[in-house]
């Protein structure tokens, strides 16, 4: 009987809610039939650039990919005197399209989506705002028919090749490892380049490869404790240098390296600088820099000077300094000449690095 | 008089919960340097023009539909005293199989959608059925086995996605199944919105909303108005009393898990049939776990779960505009967490209050015995941290 009361109360609440939302919808259609119906987007801009940045899973503060994009965008914002707004997705990243819509509705232009996972959201939102320029990091737009979007691509296999060279030259056990965040083609390009680089130096080198999560489960980019377990097992198994392409999980690889007395190679940004722990700095041999910052900054500057075409892709590789090897800490100074030699061969096309393992 | 008291008892728990949650959330926001009133006004600001407002509302509804289904799936098991943590694995596996099989067959439009739904419910039911069989035959705790089966389900789903059901080009960044033919797409409710004289939203309003409402109504009727539902709730409230009165406990476990799993199988379909039209590496995950929170918040009743799902979806939507207003979106998670905690605490407080009153009434010796009303009780399995299952209240009160 009390149950019936509660049910009635619940019904009443639901009715109230429905009524409320109807009322709200009513106001919605009341107040402005006149103007603002279409895209209220590019309003507010009197030539001033307003940069919108939408992050991938992990958001700002991942000390890697997203932070690198932020660095590039904020550098561009500073040099152009532009406004910068960045948004992070919710925990399950189900609101990517909403982030892009929010930025477009608030009049931001250009809008940069950080990460290939935005591809579907971009395909949905970009056509709704034809006057806004979008860019997406790590995903090709060529062939998708989106003529107001630009793909910012990276030849990750080239940078990873140099990482493999460094690891093979520095290893004392002829045994190295690779920890991938999620077993998807994008991360496999890191693995492919790393293996080719290491084998170019030493064809007999042993390379342990493991991914934290399979395709379809993106938790691997944000699971440092699992990364610690996996890398720890590799060190225990005889590997002395482990390269990670695992986003926020990389921290766990560094901790495993410190615990095992091994070395690790960072990814995306200069992790020697971003790791924020003196003990962990000592294990970071180098980082394979994917200069998302360079790519984002130059895209924004191109946009400002009206050079953005849309519907095309820009590939950043060793020749454009979109991929690099960091030298912080000075751990690879002694092998720099050999690394430069390989770099030049790749740029000249003498070495072709495959992007699949 | 007694009516007032009864309504008071019913409302006291949610009221305590809201007060506790508001106070804690506001306190945390103040510590973070956020003005709670400003945060609140941003949450309720659905946009400036009609298109933005309707889009925001559709965003909330679209998010609420899978949350509601997840809540119902969890709640059905809860009511029978079973804790189905495996909803996550059940819906992920069901969705990938439904997407894979749906893309392989050719059928006329309504039948195709029905087939996808039937496949999803079957797979979800079977996966949950494993849990039930293990419990019934080997006494394996459903908590343990369903958690472990989650991991297996995710691995299996990944295998199916990258193997038999692979539909994307090799080397594509997002791996996906073959896209469903249009006959398997669920039509959106945008036409309905247009009919109401509203602007068209920037996202389609999921047609699955209708299915979710039907599921909710059916769940309510079955739980509250059928012999089976009574047996199910009785098993949840007091398993030994239920079997003493003739309920076959093992069959009940099996049936409950099959139904819970079948509903869980539907969770991924709003997105699959309404928007993505394929299962991919980026398919929304974690809905099964959110379903537990939604079911707790909704006190395991379909209406409560609907309100809870809408509420969660409403808070979720606020995450983008909050950031745009330079308020950390963690405010949303803080509120979701504190409210859930507050509801659990408040339920317990209300239960104790009711019991004390019942004891007082007994001591006065006016002959009104405490009556256990299964309909009002929120059945939760012991050891989950929820309040005890039964709520004792005096029926009729002490006044002659």
CB contact under 8 A, A105 and B47: yes
For residue B89, what are its two tokens? 């694995």
Q: pLDDT tens digits for A225-243?
A: 999 999 999 999 999 999 9
Q: Which residues of B touch A94 (CB under 8 A)?
A: 63, 284, 316
pLDDT the model gives residue B3: 64
Contact B391, B353 (CB under 8 A): no
Q: Worst-scoring range by mean pLDDT, A271-275, B114-118, B271-275, B318-322?
A: A271-275
Name the DSSP letter for residue B314. Answer: H
pLDDT the model gives residue A31: 33
Taking the C-alpha atoms of residue B29 and residue B339, their distance in angstroms, rounded to an integer, is: 14
Q: pLDDT tens digits for A24-76?
A: 333 333 333 333 333 333 333 345 789 999 998 878 887 778 888 999 999 99
CB contact under 8 A, B53 and A124: no
Q: Which residues of B touch A116 (CB under 8 A)?
A: 173-174
Residue B289: closest C-alpha in chain A = A92
Please say if the pLDDT value at position B381 is more than 70: no
Give φ, ψ of A178 to 5 degrees: -135, 130
Asked if residue B112 is part of any domain, the answer here is: yes
Taking the C-alpha atoms of residue A73 and residue A301, their distance in angstroms, rounded to an integer, is: 10
Q: Given A1, A86, A91, which is nearest B286 (Cβ)?
A: A91
Taking the C-alpha atoms of residue B102 and residue B116, their distance in angstroms, rounded to an integer, is: 6
Buried b (16+ CB within 10 A) or exposed e, B131-157: bbbbbbeeebebbebbbbbbeebbbbb
Higher pLDDT, A254 or B198: A254
CB atoms within 10 A of CB A271: 28
Asked if residue B64 is part of any domain, the answer here is: yes
Q: pLDDT tens digits for B40-53?
A: 999 999 988 899 99
Q: Given A103, A185, A216, which is nearest B161 (Cβ)?
A: A216
Mutate to test the interface with A, among B67, B196, B282 (most CBs of A within 10 A): B282
> B117: domain range?
60-290
State pTM to two decimals. Answer: 0.79
Mutate to test the interface with A, among B2, B18, B51, B190 (most CBs of A within 10 A): B51
pLDDT the model gives residue A123: 93
Find where tokens 């990482």 sit.
Answer: A163
Helix runs in A178-332, H state only: 185-201, 224-236, 250-260, 271-274, 278-281, 292-304
Instruction: Tabulate helix, strand, coil % of chain A (nearest 5).
Output: 50, 20, 30
pLDDT the model gives residue B7: 62
pLDDT the model gives residue A242: 96
Asked if residue B345 is part of any domain, the answer here is: no
pLDDT band at residue B8, thresholds of 50, 70 and 90?
Answer: low
Set out the domains of chain A in order of their start, with CATH numbers: 50-154 (3.40.50.2300), 156-290+327-348 (3.40.50.2300)
CB contact under 8 A, A37 and B324: no
Q: pLDDT tens digits for B57-114?
A: 999 999 999 999 999 999 999 999 999 999 999 999 999 999 999 999 999 988 999 9
Higher pLDDT, B332 or A113: A113
Q: Which residues of A touch B9 (CB under 8 A)?
A: 2
pLDDT the model gives residue A59: 82
Q: pLDDT tens digits for A118-136?
A: 999 999 999 999 999 999 9
Q: Given B10, B52, B324, which is nearest A85 (Cβ)?
A: B324
Asked if residue B189 is part of any domain, the answer here is: yes
pLDDT band at residue B392, thresholds of 50, 70 and 90?
Answer: very low
| % pLDDT > 90, chain A | 65
pLDDT the model gives residue B198: 85
Taking the C-alpha atoms of residue B306 and residue B298, their distance in angstroms, rounded to an integer, is: 7
Average pLDDT, chain B: 86
Q: In what order do the strands lie in the sheet with A206-213?
A: A206-213, A175-182, A241-245, A263-268, A284-290, A323-325
CB contact under 8 A, A97 and B203: yes
In a 10 Å sphere around its CB, with 0-12 CB exposed, 13-18 middle and 19+ buried, how is residue B325 labelled?
middle
| % pLDDT > 70, chain B | 88
CB contact under 8 A, A184 and B281: yes
pLDDT band at residue B365, thresholds of 50, 70 and 90?
Answer: low
Residue A213: closest C-alpha in chain B = B155
Non-local (6+) Cβ contacts of A240 within 8 A are: A171, A172, A173, A175, A176, A262, A263
Asked if residue B241 is part of any domain, the answer here is: yes
Omega of the bond leading into A208 within 30 degrees of 0 (cis): no
Q: pLDDT tens digits for B128-176?
A: 999 999 999 999 999 999 999 999 999 999 999 988 999 887 767 788 9
Per the structure, how many domains does chain B have? Answer: 1
| % pLDDT > 90, chain B | 60
pLDDT band at residue B209, thresholds of 50, 70 and 90?
Answer: very high
Is the CA virtual torsion B86, B92, B96, B102 positive or negative? Answer: positive
- Quick one: average pLDDT of B29-34? 89
CB contact under 8 A, A94 and B310: no
Q: pLDDT tens digits for A136-182?
A: 998 999 888 899 999 999 999 999 999 999 999 999 999 999 999 99
pLDDT the model gives residue B109: 86
The pairs formed by B8-12 with CB atoms below 8 angstroms and a separation of 24 or more are B9/A2, B9/B350, B9/B353, B9/B354, B9/B393, B10/A2, B10/A5, B10/A6, B10/A9, B10/B376, B11/A9, B12/B346, B12/B350, B12/B353
Please tell me whether residue A111 adopts helix, strand or coil conformation.
strand
pLDDT the model gives residue A323: 92
CB contact under 8 A, A125 and B202: yes
pLDDT the model gives residue B48: 85
Please say if the pLDDT value at position B390 is more than 70: no
Average pLDDT, chain A: 85
Name the DSSP letter for residue B336. Answer: H
Residue A2: closest C-alpha in chain B = B376
Q: Which residues of A touch B393 (CB under 8 A)?
A: 2
Nearest-CA neighbor of A184 among A149, A228, A229, A218?
A218
Taking the C-alpha atoms of residue B274 and residue B206, their distance in angstroms, rounded to an integer, is: 6
Please say if the pLDDT value at position B386 is more than 80: no
pLDDT the model gives residue B121: 98
Contact A190, A268 (CB under 8 A): no
Which ipTM score applies to this complex?
A: 0.83
């Amino acid at each position: 009987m009390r149950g019936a009361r509660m049910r009635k109360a619940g019904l009443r609440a639901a009715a109230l809610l429905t009524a409320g939302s109807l009322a709200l919808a009513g106001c919605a259609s009341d107040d402005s039939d006149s103007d603002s119906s279409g895209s209220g987007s590019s309003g507010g801009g009197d030539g001033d650039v307003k940069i919108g940045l939408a992050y991938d899973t992990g958001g700002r503060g991942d000390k890697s990919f997203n932070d690198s994009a932020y660095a590039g965008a904020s550098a561009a914002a500073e040099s152009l005197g532009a406004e910068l707004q960045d948004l992070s997705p919710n925990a399950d990243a189900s609101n990517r399209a909403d982030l892009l819509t929010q930025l477009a509705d608030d009049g931001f232009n250009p809008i940069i989506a950080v990460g290939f996972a935005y591809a579907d959201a971009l395909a949905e939102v970009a056509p709704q705002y034809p006057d806004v320029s979008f860019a997406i990091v790590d995903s090709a737009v060529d062939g998708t028919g989106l003529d107001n979007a630009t793909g910012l691509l990276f030849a990750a296999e080239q940078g990873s090749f140099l990482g493999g060279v460094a690891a093979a030259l520095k290893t004392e056990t002829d045994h190295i490892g690779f920890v991938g965040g999620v077993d998807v083609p994008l991360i496999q390009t890191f693995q492919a380049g790393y293996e080719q680089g290491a084998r170019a130096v030493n064809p007999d080198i042993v390379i342990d490869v493991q991914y934290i999560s399979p395709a379809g489960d993106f938790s691997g980019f944000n699971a440092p404790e699992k990364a610690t377990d996996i890398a720890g097992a590799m060190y225990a198994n005889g590997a002395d240098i482990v390269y990670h392409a695992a986003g926020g999980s990389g921290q766990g690889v560094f901790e495993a390296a410190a615990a095992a007395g091994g070395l690790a190679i960072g990814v995306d940004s200069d992790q020697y600088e971003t790791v924020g722990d003196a003990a962990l700095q000592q294990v970071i041999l180098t980082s394979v820099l994917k200069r998302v910052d360079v790519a984002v900054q130059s895209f924004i500057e191109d946009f400002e000077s009206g050079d953005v075409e849309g519907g095309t892709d820009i590939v950043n590789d060793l020749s454009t300094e979109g991929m690099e090897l960091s030298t912080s800490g000075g751990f690879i100074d002694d092998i720099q000449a050999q690394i430069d030699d390989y770099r030049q061969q790749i740029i000249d096309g003498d070495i072709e690095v495959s992007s699949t393992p | 008089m007694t009516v007032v008291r009864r309504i008071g008892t019913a409302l006291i728990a949610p009221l305590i919960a809201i007060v506790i949650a508001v106070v804690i959330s506001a306190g945390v926001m103040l510590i973070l340097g956020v003005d709670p009133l400003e945060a609140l006004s941003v949450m309720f600001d659905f946009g400036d023009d009609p298109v933005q407002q309707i889009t925001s509302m559709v965003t909330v509804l679209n998010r609420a539909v899978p949350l509601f289904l997840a809540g119902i799936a969890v709640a059905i098991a809860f009511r029978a005293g079973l804790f189905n943590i495996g909803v996550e694995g059940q819906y992920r596996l069901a969705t990938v199989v439904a997407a894979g099989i749906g893309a392989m067959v050719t059928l006329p439009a309504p039948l195709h959608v029905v087939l996808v739904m039937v496949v999803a419910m079957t797979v979800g039911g079977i996966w949950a059925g494993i849990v039930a069989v293990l419990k019934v035959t080997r006494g394996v705790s459903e908590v343990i086995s369903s958690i472990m089966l989650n991991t297996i389900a995710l691995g299996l789903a990944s295998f199916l996605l990258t193997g038999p059901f692979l539909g994307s080009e090799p080397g594509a960044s997002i791996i996906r199944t073959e896209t469903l033919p249009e006959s398997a797409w669920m039509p959106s409710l945008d036409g309905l919105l247009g009919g109401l004289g509203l602007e068209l939203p920037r996202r389609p309003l999921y047609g699955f909303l209708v299915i979710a409402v039907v599921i909710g109504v059916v769940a309510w009727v079955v739980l509250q108005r059928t012999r089976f539902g009574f047996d199910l709730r009785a098993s949840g409230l007091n398993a030994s009393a239920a079997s003493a009165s003739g309920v076959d406990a093992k069959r009940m476990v099996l049936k409950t898990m099959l139904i819970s799993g079948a509903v869980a199988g539907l969770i991924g379909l709003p997105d699959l049939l309404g928007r993505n039209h394929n299962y991919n590496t980026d398919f929304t995950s974690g809905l099964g776990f959110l379903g537990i929170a939604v079911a707790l918040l909704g006190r395991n009743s379909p209406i409560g779960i609907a309100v809870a799902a809408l509420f969660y979806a409403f808070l979720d939507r606020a995450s983008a505009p909050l950031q745009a207003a330079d308020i950390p979106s963690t405010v949303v998670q803080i509120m979701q967490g504190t409210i859930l905690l507050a509801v659990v605490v408040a339920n317990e407080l209300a239960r104790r209050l009711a019991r004390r009153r019942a004891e007082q009434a007994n001591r006065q010796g006016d002959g009104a015995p405490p009556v256990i009303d299964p309909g009002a009780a929120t059945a939760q399995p012991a050891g989950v941290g929820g309040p005890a299952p039964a709520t004792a209240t005096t029926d009729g009160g002490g006044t002659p």
